Structure 1
Amino acid sequence: MLLPAVRLLKKQFPDTQIDWLIDRPIAGLLAQVTEVNVVPIDKPKSIGDYWRIKKQWRRKNTGQLISFQTSFVSNMLMALLPAEHKTGFGPPYSREGHHFFTDTAYELPEHLHQVEIFFALAQKFAGISQQISITADDLNLPVSDTDINWAVDKLQTHRQWIAINPMASTQEKTWDAERYISLIDNLHRLYPDRPVVLTGGSGSKEVAFGQQIEQQTQAPCLNLTGQTTLTQLAAILKQASLLISPDTGPLHLANAMATPVIGLYAVTRPEYIGPYNQLDNCINIYDQAARTFMQKPASQLPWQKKIPSLEAMQLISVEQLIAKVRDLNL
């Protein structure tokens, strides 16, 4: 979601070296991005880690530093990294005292999508006041031929696959396994020529969740949960004709592959964090969940508020999802 902002900065400052510091496990995804210099770093977990980063960068002149993250870790890094000038967010998107670590904290409009928040900060930094549209090309993430060939071999290009990434990073964002099982059986009945491929990370809970779904569904499905690198996952999603997923990283990865997605949103607001340019494809029951579990309409909740309920996602029915798939006219 940060790619459009980074690309805007490179267009505005074509002769400037731009280093993008990013968590090492994610950096591999950006290997084919040529506009900027991707610098993998290990996310600090102790005082010693912060001290090592400070020593590593103390003799490097980073010139202008822009922090697009507002977490405690990012704020500490912003404080430690040397720079002539540090730029970040003012209200309403400053978090964890973020603006106190900046020289310039830009105030941005409320109720922006996360992609637009990043992009607006880049525009402010570059001094651009006119409206600029964010295109699909701005969001596009290139994938290597090696990974594409691997995915083609796995999925066989003569078949049209429906990908399902069932587990989110937190339990409250995850739909029940029984509903995924019912969904897959219904999809097989409706689209017998479109097999299902399960995707997901290598964590033990996620692998077990994928195995449970694979073993209990009546329909055949290919389970690749825990069997792909991030770049191979991107290539798999690029080959798929559709991804169904809760609010989690692979949803945005599929969006960056220009693959149609159906996002399941109950505890987070898709208008803020959904797949950019595909929000109409989302099942959005955030307002219903807010009224049920917070006793307030969504309009009365903070824009970035997560609804703390393990039951909210279960308000989404299999029938709703099947209807959304039908709407896409696969």
Structure 2
Amino acid sequence: MKHPLPVNPEHIAILRLSALGDVCNLVPTVRALQRQWPQARITWIIGKGEYSLLTGLTGVEFVVYDKSTGLAGMRALWRQLADTRFDVLLHMQQAIRASILSLGLKANVRIGYDKARAKDAQHWFTQRQLTPRPRAHVLESFMDFARLLGVEDDSLAWDMPVPQSAYEEAQLLSGDAPYLVINPCSNVRLRNFRNWSAEGYASVIEHAWTQHGLKSVLTGGGNTQERTMGEQIQQLCRPESVINAIGGTSLKGVMALIDRARAVVAPDTGPIHMANALQTPALGLYATTNPQRAAPYLWREFAVNAYPEAVRTYLHKSVDDISWGQRVRHPDAMSLIRTEQVITQLDALLEHTTHEPFAARSPQ
């Protein structure tokens, strides 16, 4: 017998700890839940860095779990929520750590992914599973949780919080001229080969400057890989065409830069999905991950897609012969993306979109 789902949930828990791009893709599901049940409490159990991105999101209570604290941090979170019982727990993190964390939470029913989409045996930790949806985009998979609960209006809305101080930070960096944001690096993780070349980015920057009058602002964290990449790109560009802000902004400051940008160019990493959430034109670069599953949702048609070629070259298969979420873990895969492809798609994106004057992008 299936566990019954709440008809009018009073308290909804969301368990999604990471990552930056994924939590951006999850926000429309939160908004859909809020529209359906405006009086319901929503508690989101979230990672530390992800909380710094979403802090201020209206109508959501955040409980922060820092994964570096391990089991001790889990126990502290369980104690914090010991007197809380949720009508429903939406288990949206496909990782064994998150599933173990879920065991210490009290909920009348736990919803997880269907077996085909579940990883790390997540379906063992839930009582109800999503209706199967083969080949779904990440954003759609999140929205399926709301649909299973009975949400009728699944239209997309974000309303991401960006404080005035962040816009002031962005203004100091970018000035008043129109610009692109280029976030060249993805997270440093084992066998996470998502980064394109410094030479490729430099060619795109030159094109944006000479053909469109757009400076490029480089963004990213402060780790050695990102700083080195930024320096390499900068050395290949004329000084007036690029501003290197890598390691020099807060996360909210990056959001403000993205919100005021003419467009964003990046591989499959948080800022490309931040752009999507802010409805800033987004050009994603994809070879190691499938853009049909993970490209910025509103701008999927503009993504540079070398994934089928990477699958053929390094897995010796076609896209139809591999699992939907399979990655191409080869260090040379992103080299299949050609500069002329990126420039062509950038030109198409800029022609397709119009942009408000900068002043209109800041809150009044």
TM more than 0.5: yes
AA matched with 1:278: W
1:221-262 CA deviation, whole Å, 9 max, x = no partner?
Answer: 111101111111000001110111111000001111111111
Other structure's SS at 2:335 match: helix
The residue number in structure 1 matching 2:39 is 15
Q: Is 1:195 matched up with 2:211? A: no
Distance 1:113 1:56 in 2: 34
Alpha-carbon shift at residue 309 of structure 1 (Å):
0.9
The alignment status of 1:99 with 2:118, answered yes or no, reads: no
Partner residue in 2 for 1:127: 150
Partner of 1:204: 224
Query: Which segments of 5 or more consecutive residues in structure 2 lack a partner in the other structure?
Result: 1-24, 352-364
**One-letter amino acid matched to 2:46:** I
Give 1:155 deviation, angstroms.
1.9
Task: Report the counterpart of residue 12 of structure 2 in structure 1.
Answer: none
Letter in 2 for 1:319: E
TM (norm. structure 2) is 0.84
Matched, 1:327 2:348: yes
Residue matched to 2:70: 46
Q: TM-score, normalised by structure 1?
A: 0.92
Match of 1:141 among 149, 160, 163: 160
TM-superposed CA distance for 1:283, in Å, is 0.5
Report the CA distance shift for 1:106/1:186 in structure 2 as closer, same or farther (over 3 A). closer
Question: Alignment partner of 1:80: what SS?
Answer: coil
CA shift digits 1:47-103 (9 cap, x unpaired) = 333333333322322332111111112111111222222221122211111111112
Tell me, yes or no, if the aligned pair for 2:143 and 2:154 is still in contact at 8 Å: no
Identity %: 29
Greater CA drift, 291-300 or 180-189: 180-189
Q: Aligned letter for 1:114?
A: V
Deviation at 1:133, TM superposition (A): 4.9
| Corresponding pairs, count | 323
1:285-304 CA deviation, whole Å, 9 max, x = no partner?
11111111111111111111
- Corresponding residue SS for 1:296: coil
1:252 to 273, 276, 300: 273
Corresponding residue of 2:247: 226
Match runs of 1:274-293 below 5 Å: 274-293=295-314
What SS is found at the alignment partner of 1:173? coil
**2:173 is paired with a residue of what secondary structure?**
helix
Contact 1:185/1:219, CA 8 A, preserved across alignment: no
Q: Does 1:213 find its partner at 2:238?
A: no
CA distance in 1, matches of 2:231, 2:62: 35
Give distance in 2, aligned partners of 1:209 and 1:99: 40
What is the RMSD computed on CA atoms of the aligned residues? 1.8
Q: Distance in 2 between matches of 1:33 and 1:52?
A: 24
Aligned AA (1:35): G
Greater Cα shift, 73-82 or 222-231: 73-82
**Residue 8 of structure 1 contacts residue 122 of structure 1 at CA under 8 Å; is this kept in 2?**
yes
